[in-house]
Structure 1
Amino acid sequence: METKLEKRYGLITAIAMVIGIVIGSGVFFKAEKVLNATGGSLTLGILAWIIGGIIMISCAYTFAVMATKYQYVNGVVDYAQATLGKKYAYYVGWFMALIYYPTLTSVLAWVSARYTCVLFGFPITGGECMTIACLYLIASFALNALSPVLAGKFQVSTTVIKLIPLILMAIIGTIAGVGNGMIKYNFTTVVKQVNPSTGLFTAVVATAFAYEGWIIATSINAELKDAKRNLPIALVGGTFITMAIYILYYIGLSGAVANKVMMAGGESGAKLAFQTIFSSLGGSLLFVFVIISCLGTLNGLMLGCTRGIYSLAARGLGPKPNIFKQVDSITNMPTNSSIFGLLLCGIWLLYFYGANLTKPWFGFFSF
């Protein structure tokens, strides 16, 4: 008898996936790019975050409507098949399995390693960083492949932990900024003149990556209890919470340092803001929270990556579907699909290193 994936995840895990995957390292340091795009206009910057958030919520709502009607193996592939047919779903499944999941997962492994190296003083382009990135990849794979329930709990835990510095900065930074006049100064001062329309559009684009990743939560719809109810709630509720946190955190930062200081450098500006509000220890702890935040995002991405080729195999599609659709009777995970996902992550991590972190290996094909 063929083993099927169990219904093991609840609403809290689904919401944690949406929030935890979207909120990575970008939110801590995106203020600089948004402010530079708007010429230091805090009003335009907040508007950009609102517009980007509304776009994300609108897209999530569209998928939420689909989630109330269709449920099979992998949300995105399910919806593609329901709307445009099996052939289109086949191509979408391959894109998700070969490119979308593993590229994001491998890059997040490197980003997690990068901030680990910054914390401990290692070079971010050397062998130490790549070794740590590989270890993070393997550890994330092991957690998801061997204990998916524990991976779900880890996702919830890291999501809660990563929200702590954001909420603290949003509250205390805003209170401090109102008290010392920094927020009023930042709202009424423009660092440089830019075309408002062009600046706003560029800023919205800058927020796009910070709002990306929520769609991966649909990869667990086959394992989500009462998926037709819980997944739509998680998609809409999770994206709305994310937008609210981003905007409040952005305002909190403006209460800590001047916009021109934040524009001078993302990492140094955010670190200075935390040092201003929470002392020098806060600046150091920031990177600890960033690492935890990145690892939470990595876990969520790996959760989707391990199920990538399985979403095709479960439909009898792709290479050797009988092999890749096998679900381990002990772990209740598609082990062969998981291993395939890990190998793809390793290949993309190697490509990322050869194309971006050293003298390009791939010539014209280095992106």
Structure 2
Amino acid sequence: MKEREHYGLGTAISMIVGISIGSGIFFKADEILIATGGSVWLGVLVFVIGALCVIFGSITLSQLASRSSMRGGVVSYYEEFVSPKAANAFGWFQLFVYFPTITAVVSWVSGIYTISLFGLPSSLELQTALGFMYMTFFFTMNYFSYKSGGRFQNITTIIKMIPLIGIGLLGLFWTQSAPALPEGVMLVERSNVGWGWLGALAPVAFSFDGWIVSTTITQEVREHKRTMPFALTLGPLIVLAVYLAFFLGLIAIVGVEFILSAGDQAIGQVGQSIFGLYGERILLSFVLIAILGVVNGISLGYIRLPHTLASKNMMPMSNKIVQLDEKKGLSPYSALTAYLLTVFWLMMHYVTQRWDILAGGDISEIAIVFSYVLYIVLYVKVLQLKKEKVIKSWFLGIAAPILGTIGSLVILLGGWFSNPVYMPIFIGFSAVVCVLGYLYSIQTTKATLKEG
């Protein structure tokens, strides 16, 4: 079947910007400042390092995107430029770990902010139930109407930029003194954290994560060989500019000590400082829209992944999952598989949070850091293409992949600093999933040879 090119440059960029700019920046900004001991310039440096990791990584992958003729984003890059077995390993990681854990956690976060916005009694059960409702709605919408999913992504991306850029601009001209700390909150002053600031790279990686999801719709983007490299380069630059504006504006309005002391409450205080009594709810409305844009963007990409793997016979029940609804251009079994896996991980997230199994962490941490390690394989492949003179540019073929690799290793180091107890477990679990995918590929290859 001829690929349907539904989307344009705007949707590709809005997926990158819309998924990256979601919940992370709103509730991770304080963690970044705390990890740097209140040093604003170290915080800026961490943002820049995180952005460069993504920018050089996306520029590098754009070289594969422009040369790929296969559907499936990074999975297809592995298949086309590394090997089918490696693609199967990476595909299983994305299918069973990366996409569903992040979708589940962000859906849950949307429940948290809904409760805050409407002043509902807060409980883990209600947060999870609301997250389940949002998740179900967006999976359904993106299956039944690709146009609605694309439009919602574009709209929410624009809306979520308003408070981020607005706070950044207001910070430039803000002259009022820092607000008093909320009652019962103890003052936390700036400190020298030494090399501990590297731990800030983990929340930064979370804040930037999601850009890779846009590659799943590559073959559905008009003139994708030109469009996707441009989108993968411009998108992270936009995210960096917006993040820095928000981070510096936040500090200008409430002050470093308030953020260090009050943590997540700083966002609500910014709303009150700007808009008055109802300011917190106004700002929370924008935050909720931003998070829902992330849930929509991830589900938009995820419902296509099982079909991509099934079309290559990379997973069980491929014959069933590969069947397309010709009117929608999507597989109902693919969408259902993605949905059920996300429901499973949402339940696992509930269990880990209820009994604090991950010591304050969450299941999304399993995937984010490990994914950057897997990208290194593709960066090395781009270096080989330069050596083979397939890529002519020195910057695109050598500088970008080397800097992308360094960036991935830096994020791995930052993740280790932030959670030295559980990060090895997360990495080991993800590696086991990859090995199982690799072994499955070997098994299906042998079965195919026997049948032949």
**Counterpart AA for 1:246:** Y
Q: CA deviation at 1:81?
A: 1.4
2:173 counterpart of 1:175? yes
| Cα distance change of structure 1 residues 85 and 36 upon mapping to structure 2, 3 Å threshold | same
CA contact (8 A) 1:32 1:264 kept: no
**Counterpart AA for 1:309:** P
Q: CA deviation at 1:267?
A: 2.0
Choose which of 310, 313, 317 in structure 2 pairs with 1:316: 313
Q: Deviations over 1:95-128 (max 9, x none)?
A: 1111111111111111111111122233443433
Q: Deviations over 1:244-292 (max 9, x none)?
A: 1001111111210110101113321121122212323222111111111
Choose which of 17, 41, 52 in structure 1 pairs with 2:39: 41
**Counterpart AA for 2:228:** L
Structure-2-length-normalised TM-score: 0.74
Choose which of 267, 270, 274 in structure 2 pairs with 1:273: 270
Q: 1:324, 1:67 → 2: CA distance? A: 25
Q: 2:126, 2:200 → 1: CA distance? A: 34
Aligned to 1:363: none
Q: 2:228, 2:330 → 1: CA distance? A: 20
Aligned to 1:71: 69
Q: 1:271, 1:72 → 2: CA distance? A: 46
Q: 1:128, 1:316 → 2: CA distance? A: 39
2:30 counterpart of 1:32? yes
Q: 1:219, 1:107 → 2: CA distance? A: 20
Q: 2:31, 2:49 → 1: CA distance? A: 16
Q: Deviations over 1:176-218 (max 9, x none)?
A: 1xx4587xxxxxxx9433144x143222333111111100000
CA contact (8 A) 2:37 2:197 kept: no
Structure 2 segments unaligned to the other structure (5+ residues)? 179-187, 358-362, 364-421, 423-452
Aligned to 1:81: 79
Kindly report the root-mean-square deviation, in angstroms, between the aligned alpha carbons of the 2 structures.
Answer: 2.0
**Counterpart AA for 2:234:** G
Aligned to 2:150: 152
**Counterpart AA for 1:62:** T
| Cα distance change of structure 1 residues 349 and 124 upon mapping to structure 2, 3 Å threshold | farther
| Cα distance change of structure 1 residues 13 and 122 upon mapping to structure 2, 3 Å threshold | same
How many positions carry a matched residue from both structures? Answer: 351
Q: 1:277, 1:55 → 2: CA distance? A: 34
Aligned to 1:186: none
| Cα distance change of structure 1 residues 256 and 336 upon mapping to structure 2, 3 Å threshold | same
Q: CA deviation at 1:4?
A: 4.9
**Equivalence map 1:225-244=2 (5 Å):** 225-244=222-241
Larger displacement relative to structure 2 (144-153 or 125-134): 125-134
Structure 1 segments unaligned to the other structure (5+ residues)? 183-189, 361-365
Aligned to 1:247: 244
Choose which of 151, 159, 162 in structure 2 pairs with 1:161: 159
Larger displacement relative to structure 2 (350-359 or 303-312): 350-359
CA contact (8 A) 1:41 1:191 kept: no
Q: 1:30, 1:340 → 2: CA distance? A: 31
Aligned to 1:20: 18
CA contact (8 A) 1:71 1:221 kept: no
Aligned to 1:218: 215
Secondary structure at the aligned position of 1:332 is classed as coil
Choose which of 335, 338, 347 in structure 2 pairs with 1:338: 335
- Which structure has more relative contact order (CA 8 Å, sep 6+)? It is 1
Q: Deviations over 1:33-71 (max 9, x none)?
A: 111111111111111111111111111111111111113
Q: CA deviation at 1:164?
A: 0.7
2:292 counterpart of 1:295? yes
Q: 1:193, 1:215 → 2: CA distance? A: 35
2:51 counterpart of 1:53? yes
Choose which of 261, 265, 278 in structure 2 pairs with 1:264: 261
**Percent identity of paired positions between Structure 1 and Structure 2:** 35
Q: CA deviation at 1:303?
A: 1.1
**Counterpart AA for 1:11:** L
Structure-1-length-normalised TM-score: 0.90
Larger displacement relative to structure 2 (11-20 or 132-141): 132-141
CA contact (8 A) 1:65 1:232 kept: yes
Q: 2:166, 2:177 → 1: CA distance? A: 19
CA contact (8 A) 1:68 1:228 kept: yes
Q: 2:109, 2:2 → 1: CA distance? A: 34
CA contact (8 A) 2:176 2:253 kept: no
Choose which of 6, 9, 18 in structure 2 pairs with 1:8: 6
**Counterpart AA for 2:197:** L
Aligned to 2:406: none
**Counterpart AA for 1:84:** V
Choose which of 115, 118, 123 in structure 2 pairs with 1:117: 115
Aligned to 2:192: 194
Q: 1:126, 1:238 → 2: CA distance? A: 34
